[in-house]
Structure 1
Amino acid sequence: MKKLRPSGGYRSSASFQTATIIYDATVWFCEKFLDARSRTVDQMVQAARSGRQNIAEGSRCAATSSQTELRLVNVARASLEELLLDYEDYLRHRRLPQWAPDGPEASSVRAIAAQLRRQDRTDPTNPSDLTDLSDQQRYALYARWLEAEDAALRANAIICLIHQANYLLDRQIAALEAAFIEDGGYSEQLATERLRQRRKEQTDRANTTDRTDLPQPPPCPKCGGLMALRTAKGGKNPGSQFWGCTHYPECKGTLPI
């Protein structure tokens, strides 16, 4: 049975792929540069995980609840914003430099994302097409920053990735909101589909009915005019059908069926 609304497919989305890199990089950043007993470690790892997992969960909920999908994607966006602040705090508290958004370092990190977009969709063997890489292969593209011994280098690169993920999620949220306004929620779509199916069934029945099976109206015994099927509203047999003259009330001719 065809689903009314598609769901899943999150693994191929740029937002989920970027969030996966951020989650992995955060786990290893915390292991290397922060005290495992620090509450900050748990907060950062959980925020990174929430950003990734809520994208996936929202995608899976898309089939039955567009509102739930939208809410979960917003949760993912908020979690990554929280993580962004944690990395900025890390740099500021240690008096480490933060890259300028349009500086050469940040531009180098952003350039990797451009490689992940399919350059030639007509040629699946094109070596510049990196959309089908595994998570490990995709992470390796950023290894020069994410595996660096310099904490500031790692933190700044992850900040760049968070900005990319947030940009993608903002676009995703805007598209979901527009679709909800345009098409309605799942319940509305389900009701519309149900009504469409009922109308189709009625049309199919009408098209397959043999009209010759219906009784042919006899002539009126009083005036000879056309007669039509009528339903008694009162009298001895309310609800029963009979032939009545179409010239009623001038002619009150009737016949039983």
Structure 2
Amino acid sequence: MAKSSEKPFKSIFRQVPKWQDLWFYQKSEVLYQMTYVFCERFLPQYGDRTVDQMVQAARSGKQNIVEGSEDGKTSTEMELKLLNVARSSIGELRQDYEDYLKSRQLKQWTPDDERFQPMQDFTKSHNQLSDYEPYFQQWSAEEMANVGLTLCFQVDTMMNKYMESLEKTFVTQGGIKERMHAARTGYRQQQDKRLAELEQTVPALQQQLTQAQAEVAEWKAKYEDLKQRALKAYQEQKEEIEKLKRTR
């Protein structure tokens, strides 16, 4: 009998990387924690809306990356929307850091500043919160704001590249509706193929059945013939025994 050609079940959910493993998420986590400490150290705790704005922007960036990644399993469109919200929040945070430096006549480091490249090298090669926490109470306001700005730029750049990749995936593979349609169509095609395979085996099986029935009929006839001959021999032998007994 032919074996089934049905393929193993393939999930319609898109395979997405774990948000914990995304470098731009890791950096956004650093941004949130660092911004919280920055506001505690260098901004007044009461009467300044900037504190809430910066902390909320940092949190929104981080959380929308998480939500976007989770929703990406079923909706690339929703993932793109939430990641774009995250980018906007990071952009607001970047503007707040820039405003802080300008309003306090502090310097925003540029490539010609000797401190710029070491900071770039450090932030590019370090993504974990544990890499930054030892400096939270050591950096000056200017140092901390420049690190925050640099992380904002890096997160934005990484997210842009990631979103471009998502857009290409969406264009070429579609969303959940397209995957559901493809899965259903593929399943029906498998069923049709299996049905055709089974139908092809029917004539051969019918022929085997007919042959088996003929063989059964033949063996049945032979059995009846053998049975009759055995009965006849038995009767003849019995009669001979009776005859011998009478002539003794």
TM-score, length basis structure 2: 0.72
Aligned pairs for 1:97-112 within 5 A: 97-101=107-111, 103-112=113-122
Runs of 4+ in structure 1 displaced over 6 angstroms? 213-216
**Offset of residue 86 of structure 1:** 0.3
1:164 aligns with 2:173: no
Q: 1-side partners of 2:116 and 2:77: how far apart?
A: 35
Letter in 2 for 1:105: R
Q: 1:146 to 1:101 in 2, by over 3 A?
A: farther
Tell me which residue corresponds to 2:36.
Answer: 27
Aligned-partner SS, 1:96 = coil
Q: Which has the higher strand share?
A: 1
Compare relative contact order (CA 8 Å, sep 6+) and give the higher one, 1 or 2. 2
TM-superposition CA deviations, 1:182-227 (whole Å, max 9, x none): 11122112111211111011112221333318999xxxxxxxxxxx
TM-superposition CA deviations, 1:146-195 (whole Å, max 9, x none): 43341111111111111111110111111111111111122112111211
8 Å Cα contact 1:21/1:139 also seen in 2: yes
8 Å Cα contact 1:146/1:157 also seen in 2: no
8 Å Cα contact 2:72/2:78 also seen in 1: yes
Tell me which residue corresponds to 2:173.
Answer: 183
Gaps of 5+ in 1: 117-130, 132-137, 217-257
Gaps of 5+ in 2: 1-8, 208-248
Q: 2-side partners of 1:115 and 1:172: how far apart?
A: 18
**Offset of residue 19 of structure 1:** 0.3
Tell me which residue corresponds to 2:87.
Answer: 77
Q: 1:181 to 1:111 in 2, by over 3 A?
A: same
Highest CA radius of gyration, 1 or 2? 2
8 Å Cα contact 1:51/1:79 also seen in 2: yes
Aligned residues: 196
Root-mean-square deviation (CA), in Å? 2.3
TM-superposition CA deviations, 1:207-254 (whole Å, max 9, x none): 1333318999xxxxxxxxxxxxxxxxxxxxxxxxxxxxxxxxxxxxxx
**Offset of residue 35 of structure 1:** 1.3
Tell me which residue corresponds to 2:18.
Answer: 9
Tell me which residue corresponds to 1:68.
Answer: 78
**Offset of residue 101 of structure 1:** 4.6
Letter in 1 for 2:72: A
**Offset of residue 8 of structure 1:** 5.5
Q: 1-side partners of 2:98 and 2:115: how far apart?
A: 16
Identity %: 36
Aligned pairs for 1:64-213 within 5 A: 64-101=74-111, 103-116=113-126, 138-143=128-133, 146-209=136-199, 210-212=201-203
**Offset of residue 115 of structure 1:** 3.5
8 Å Cα contact 2:97/2:149 also seen in 1: yes
**Offset of residue 10 of structure 1:** 0.5
Letter in 2 for 1:65: S
**Offset of residue 2 of structure 1:** 4.8
Q: 2-side partners of 1:69 and 1:79: how far apart?
A: 15
Q: 1:108 to 1:142 in 2, by over 3 A?
A: farther
**Offset of residue 7 of structure 1:** 3.8
Tell me which residue corresponds to 2:5.
Answer: none
8 Å Cα contact 1:3/1:63 also seen in 2: no
Q: 2-side partners of 1:102 and 1:175: how far apart?
A: 33
TM-score, length basis structure 1: 0.70
Tell me which residue corresponds to 2:64.
Answer: 54
Q: Which has the higher helix share?
A: 2
Tell me which residue corresponds to 1:39.
Answer: 49
Q: 1:101 to 1:197 in 2, by over 3 A?
A: farther
